[in-house]
Structure 1
Amino acid sequence: MKPRYLLARSAGDLAATDAEDLVQTLVRRANEVYRVVVKDPEKQSWRASIRTVLDVLLLAGLGDVMVLLEMSTLSSDARIDMLLVGSHPDTGELSAVAVENKQWSMLALNPRTRRITHPGAGPEDSQHPVEQVWDYCRALERQVPMLRGALWGVANLHNASTTAVAKIMPPVGQLRADVDGKRVRAFGDTTDRKEFAHFLSTVLSAEGARDHVRRIDRAHVRPSEEVMHAAYEAVRGRRIFPLLDEQRETVDKVLTLVEEGFTANSKQIFIVTGGPGTGKTVLALELLGILNGLRSSAAHASGSAAFSATLRKYVTGRYGGVSDLFTYFNQHRHREPNHLNVLICDEAHRLRKTSNLRFDKFDQRSDIPQIYELIQAARVPVFLLDPHQVVRNDEIGSPEEIRQAGLALGIPDEHIHHIQLQRQFRHNYCPEYIDWLEDLLGYKSAPRPWTYKGDFQLLRADTAQQMEDYLRAQVSLGHSARITAGYCWDWTHEYRGGRLVPDIRIDDWARPWNAFRGSGRYKIPDRTLWATDPRGFEQIGCIYTAQSFDWNYAGVIIGYDYTWAGDHWKSVNNKHRPTWGPKRHQLVRNIYRVLASRGRHGVVLYSTDHSTRDLLAELKIPPVQDALAALHEEHPKAAKPLSPLPVQDVLPW
């Protein structure tokens, strides 16, 4: 059984431990258990905060209560500073208190956002600590059902005055509606310590503390019945289109294997491939909803932060806990074998060789392939991918890689199922568009003329301003649209004077890349929400913020890294990847294929290269100026073209 916390000792034993020895032990254990490098601020937090809670426990006569340090929430990489474990003094049943330590000495509540302003908070302030510890309690309850109703929460603001703490709590400051004020509290500095001790004595006793810790250690971790039901309601309530043909075949096969009650030794792997718009994600969500409706533990995994964040926000809605089911590939690196019945690996072309993180030290790294970890995590792993969407050197997701991993783990070839999705949903107006696009970019045949005459609009622009004018007019009519670009310009991540830097400059047109971190003050979305927040239109997206999403209309700026050289495409290194390696041409081409397949109703192509623009004209792609004129004739109220703005006035709008 893998550890679920860094250290478990009685409060008395910890109080008798040298503070610096304790910190060094926690640093070593963090390396062993969570494979993380502990930074100085966290070490300082341990030095400053742990003792303040131990003193309160001793004051309350609870020296034999067990203290679990850095307890995992078991659903993400978030950790609970301290979990105090014992029995409830009234019932004798398991009782535990989650403690979130804060060293804030000065704090204030923003009444509009309910977030906390304090030194070092940054422009977005910090989550209310009471709401944070409440979220941790709920997450832990959802993963370990035996803790449901047995958890309490405390925000330990040991450097803040009692007066300051009172101003962020009801009735002065309102908490989120779902927070149970009877089960979660906040306490300040020395004048609040006796009240803190009294609270602990009403919900904790030391009786059976060690036995309860052993029960927590052995508890099977899985989503609670409540979460599985909520997932079923949330996902099934948002069905986009009915499953057809090979999609239904996939779902039926997976369900059959789950319902048969297979054993751990009869693992089955599904590899589902399909191009852009073939409904891979809808299939994944349908599976997630149905399986949780059957009370069969299933989770969704992705390699994209933007994709997972958007699913959490837009799929889960009001259903608490469902967001925990949307995970990242590397979160399964320490999962017990066959912990889940089904793990749905969406966007599996983004699989990496290992789950090692960029800043992992040498002794924290593992040679275990990420594919092995995902296959071992569930009885039925399902991989959904498009091999032509690999856009990085370290992405290895392909049907053959997954198949070979399964065989290497001893899974018979007949238990590895490959299903190909063919039916188009995103480009249902023009199913042949993807084939034409692949010919244009040099996947199969030579570029061929655009002869389509239906509702789907493929257009070419002679300038970036023309592209923006057309897309802005579509936005003014209620359509979604974004502009994306290849990595051919520098990227200034920080704000300057409250504005994003317009790094993408083409003649007299300049725009910024999407923000790395958003700003509520300046109404700029975070990179994880750029694709879905309407304000994202004012920035230019990249492959990582655009992949997995689509809009009514998409504009693509093809940079100097992929240009037409008369009879073939030429690729060169760009700003983002100065040394692509031998797969450069394939990866750059894949990037533009992904970007140019995001528009459901229309796509506008613009190249900074004159020869490439000539090619687009020779292929008889209609000019965007004509389409914009027709749009204004049909819709006089559509947004009119903007004059080019001086660079310093690009943002904010």
Structure 2
Amino acid sequence: MLVYENTKAGFLDGALEAQLVPKIKQGYQSQGVGMGSPGEVRSWKNSLQYMHSVLSGSSVPSDAGVAIELKIPLTSKRIDFLVSGYDAADSANVVIIELKQWEGDSTERVETQDGIVKTALGGGIRETPHPSYQAASYAQLLSDFNITIREKPIELHILAYLHNFEAQHRETLDNDLYRPYIEQAPIYIRGDAKKLRAFLESQIDVGDDRENLYAMNEGKIRPAKSLQNSLLEMPEERDEFTLIDSQKVVFERAVELTRRCRRDGQKRTLIVDGGPGTGKTVVAINILAELIQNDMVAQYVSKNRAPREVYKEKLRGDKLVKEIEHLFTGAGSFVETESNTLPALIADEAHRLNEESTFFGRGENQIMEIINAAKFNVFFIDESQRVHIDDIGSKDEIEKHATELGAEIEESTLESQFHCNGSKGYIAWVDDVLQIRHTANADGFDLDFDLRVFDSPEALHAAIEAKNEQTRLSRVVAGYCWEWEKDGRADPDATDIEIGDYERSWNLDDSDPWAIAEGSIDEVGCIHTCQGLEFDYVGVIIGDDLKYRDGEIIVDHEARASTDRSLFGIKKMFDEEPEKAAEIAEELIKNTYRTLMTHGMNGCYLYCCDDELQEYLGTRIETISTTH
């Protein structure tokens, strides 16, 4: 969808008459989208003046197409500026220009991450994709999913124009570190206007009166054969993607419902209930790959970055196929998506969905937005894993919005257990121990599962390190009771968690998924970096937010770190609605430890900061060992 389109001549006239920004605003409003802050409006005025200067003295034909803000399939992202026409060989060409307001003195390289830089954004210095990476990824998305671009064909030429970026800082961005992306999308900075003009002239020899822009804008979306080939063998080559029992049943049902939606146009929602270790994410990834193979556009959706990044890496394996990047997206991506735009969306960890979809408070309800955006949607959910005060994901909430949007609803359940060595009994025992619910497993469970309490965090961590050398993947995690200091988040020498002589860093803030990153065995993960994942052995440090007093498990929300947003607003709620606040705090803190304790397939090692809780858990585990 285009916000603004015109010929080169019309664009230049509009700039001279100061009509461009009003027309862009009007274009946004016609699509029901706000243009943004006054700062964003000023940025547009600034950038368009530079593009006016580039085009006004050029030999680019006056009837060449010019467009501003083309929405990219499968995302809420838009391409800043496009110029279209034909070259001397009569090939259809579109030049994609990513415009940036960046200045050199506030921009720096990030050498430990792939395609990432730091610059001034949103009132601070933040990490963001390199402009060449950003432009190249947009072009890749268009090529992978827009049929017209592939079949006409339309050649895409991409670049980034940083018109405020001073020449003395060129080496910051135009650097070998980013060479693979710069070769795809060259960088033009302040003083490069003539070079940029010459490039446009070399690509646009004959005007098209916007013909190629319209063709792109109206092109149907369907996955490219190259993308299908990339995905074809990936799950088959990795044993961890094999489906068994109820997983296979849910997979086949989801694929069949998607086909039905394509045939009859009826909207459908499938709700899949699955406890810890039932393989929800494995089924979700298999559905994604299968739908892409069947010429249907689909995306894997989750609020948490951790499962998206980990399973994206696992799916790639050693192939490092960049094309699959855009098949994994966040839950806030569909605020502006029109109804039934996509054939299918696969929402994993649906219990973590929120109402407001962005940091700026936009969006109404993520569940509603996902259902609205696709003809078919499947939600994988475990209501007992809601761990954040903003989590709204429940079967009732999904059914409510599906009904309102005219979707037929089905429910299914995943039974097979992968975590905890295949035992529902252990999970029931955890529920009883944490006093979430009384179960028949109060005295134990019948399975070969390595469950221990350690006298010190040092001993626990050493045991998990040893298991990690013997098994596929083992990690230490903890309740969020220690501050995650901003200055040390990327520093492996910084320590956050201190318990006596035990000192460790929280998971480092870098581009690699913590659970599978090199060196992460030395760190400690939290619920936000491991939810939705599984380990062979998990070591759990229970902080002071969970205690044992007079036969009761009690929670202490004030022991949570201030950097943890999971209980943000709970103190105010305690002042206004103390009973409700206490109920929410108990549910979320207990759910957090239930989730952490059920993420080991073969074993769970525990250490408690609270002495009485340590003694209580030790006694409960001793009871198991003497009865089995």
Normalised by the size of structure 1, how large is the TM-score?
A: 0.80
Matched position secondary structure for 1:197? helix
Shift of 1:230: 2.5
Q: Is 1:571 matched up with 2:570?
A: no
1:257–1:623: structure 2 CA closer, same or farther, 3 Å change rule? closer
Do 1:108 and 1:116's aligned partners in 2 also have CA atoms closer than 8 Å? no
| Deviates further, 31-40 or 589-598 | 31-40
1:426 offset after TM fit, Å? Answer: 2.5
Pairing 1:10-89 to 2, within 5 Å after superposition: 10-16=7-13, 17=15, 22=20, 37-38=36-37, 40=39, 45-62=43-60, 63-89=62-88
Greater CA drift, 597-606 or 141-150: 141-150
Q: Where is the helix percentage greater, Structure 1 or Structure 2? A: 2
Say if 2:194 is the partner of 1:153.
Answer: no
What is the distance in 1 between the residues matched to 2:501 and 2:112? 40
The alpha-carbon deviation at position 403 of structure 1 amounts to: 1.9
Q: Label 1:282 to 1:199 Cα distance change in 2 as closer, same or farther (>3 A).
A: same
Task: Describe the SS at the equivalent of 2:359.
Answer: coil
- The offset of 1:14, in angstroms, is 3.8
Task: State the match for 1:522 in structure 2.
Answer: none
- Change over 3 Å in CA distance of 1:151–1:269 after alignment to 2: same
Contact 2:495/2:503 (<8 A) preserved: yes
Question: Residue deviations 1:213-249, cap 9 Å, x none?
Answer: 3333322234334323433333443352532232222
Percentage identity across paired residues of the two chains = 26
- Check the 8 A contact 1:512/1:539 in 2, yes or no: yes
Q: How far does the alpha carbon of each residue in 1:376-418 deviate from its partner, in whole angstroms, 9 at most, with x for none?
A: 222221111111111122212122222222222233xxx3211
Equivalents in 2 of 1:294, 1:479: separation in Å? 33
Please give the per-residue CA displacement for 1:322-354, whole angstroms capped at 9, x wherever unaligned. 2211112221232232222221111111122x3
Counterpart code for 2:266: S
Contact 1:30 1:37 in 2 (8 A): no
Match status 1:611 vs 2:605: no
Instruction: Say whether residues 1:141 and 2:125 are aligned partners.
Output: no
CA-CA distance at 1:283 after TM superposition: 0.8
Q: Distance in 1 between matches of 2:488 and 2:17?
A: 40
Match of 1:545 in 2: 529
After superposition, the Cα gap between the structure-2 partners of 1:565 and 1:29, relative to the gap in structure 1 and judged at 3 Å, is: farther
Name the count of aligned residue pairs.
595
Consecutive unaligned residues in structure 1, runs of 5 or more:
519-525, 625-653
The DSSP-based 3-state class of the residue aligned with 2:488 is: coil
Partner Cα separation in structure 2 for residue 408 and residue 125 of structure 1: 39
Out of 486, 506, 511, the residue aligned to residue 499 of structure 2 is: 506
Which residue of structure 1 aligns with residue 482 of structure 2? 489
Query: How far did 1:459 drift?
Result: 0.7
Question: Cα–Cα, structure 1 residues 101 and 335, in superposed 2: closer, same or farther, change >3 Å?
Answer: closer
1:164-208 deviation digits (Å, cap 9, x = unpaired): 869987xx959756x695x75444554x54443332123214633
Q: Which residue of 2 aligns with 1:319?
A: 321
Show the counterpart of 1:8.
Answer: 5
C-alpha distance in structure 2 between counterparts of 1:514 and 1:113, whole Å: 15
Displacement of 1:315 in angstroms is: 1.6
Partner of residue 383, structure 1: 379
Distance 1:11 1:162 in 2: 28
Counterpart of 1:459 in 2: which secondary structure? strand
Asked if 1 retains the 8 angstrom alpha-carbon contact of 2:277 and 2:419, the reply is: yes
The Cα shift of 1:288 comes to 1.2
Report the CA distance shift for 1:209/1:89 in structure 2 as closer, same or farther (over 3 A).
farther
Paired with 1:384 and 1:198, the residues of 2 have a C-alpha distance of 52
One-letter code aligned to 1:134:
A
Asked whether 1:398 is paired with 2:419, we answer no
Long gaps (5+) in structure 2: 574-580
Distance, in Å, in 1 between the alignment partners of 2:445 and 2:113 is 53
Give CA deviations for 1:113-155 in whole Å, capped at 9, x if unaligned.
8969898699999765444422322222223232244211123
How far the C-alpha of 1:589 sits from its partner, in A, is 1.0
In the alignment, is residue 344 of structure 1 matched against residue 316 of structure 2?
no
Q: Is the 8 A contact 2:3 2:70 kept in 1?
A: yes
Instruction: Say which of 398, 423, 429 aligns to 1:436.
Output: 429
Q: Distance in 1 between matches of 2:344 and 2:126?
A: 37
**Superposed CA offset, 1:17-41 (max 9, x none):** 269875676578668765574484x
Does residue 302 of structure 2 align to residue 302 of structure 1? yes
Task: After TM superposition, give the deviation of residue 304 of structure 1 in Å.
Answer: 0.9
Q: Secondary structure of the residue that 2:299 maps to in structure 1? A: strand
| Corresponding residue of 2:577 | none
SS at match of 1:209: coil
Q: Which stretch of structure 1 is more off in the superposition, 142-151 or 15-24?
A: 15-24
Select between 196-205 and 230-239 the one with higher mean Cα deviation.
Answer: 230-239
Q: 1:557 touches 1:606 (CA, 8 Å); kept in 2?
A: yes
Question: Per-residue displacement from partner, 1:70-119 (whole Å, max 9, x unpaired)?
Answer: 3333333444331222334432x542101123555589999998969898
Deviation at 1:277, TM superposition (A): 0.7
In 1, are the aligned partners of 2:132 and 2:159 still within 8 Å (CA)? yes
* CA–CA separation in structure 1 for the residues paired with 2:462 and 2:506: 18
Structure 1, 611-620 or 489-498: larger mean CA deviation: 489-498
CA contact (8 A) 1:236 1:290 kept: no
The secondary structure found in structure 1 opposite 2:233 is helix
Q: Which amino acid aligns with 2:590?
A: R
* TM-fit CA distance, 1:370: 2.4
Task: Look up the equivalent residue of 2:161 and give its one-letter code.
Answer: N
The answer to whether structure 1 residue 472 and structure 2 residue 456 are counterparts is no
Give secondary structure in 2 for the equivalent of 1:70.
strand
Task: Tell me what 2:442 maps to.
Answer: 448
1:302 CA drift (Å): 0.9
TM-score (norm 2): 0.83
Write the distance in 2 (CA, Å) between the matches of 1:167 and 1:589.
47
> What secondary structure, in the 3-state scheme, does the structure 1 residue paired with 2:551 have?
coil
Q: Is the CA contact (8 Å cut-off) linking 1:311 and 1:326 kept in structure 2?
A: no
Deviation at 1:297, TM superposition (A): 2.2
Equivalence for 1:273: 273
Question: Given that residues 119 and 126 in structure 2 are in contact (C-alpha distance below 8 angstroms), is that contact kept between their aligned partners in structure 1?
Answer: no
Instruction: Give deviations 1:246-287, integer Å, cap 9, x for gaps.
Output: 222222223333445645642222111111111111111111
Q: Is the 8 A contact 1:269 1:380 kept in 2?
A: yes
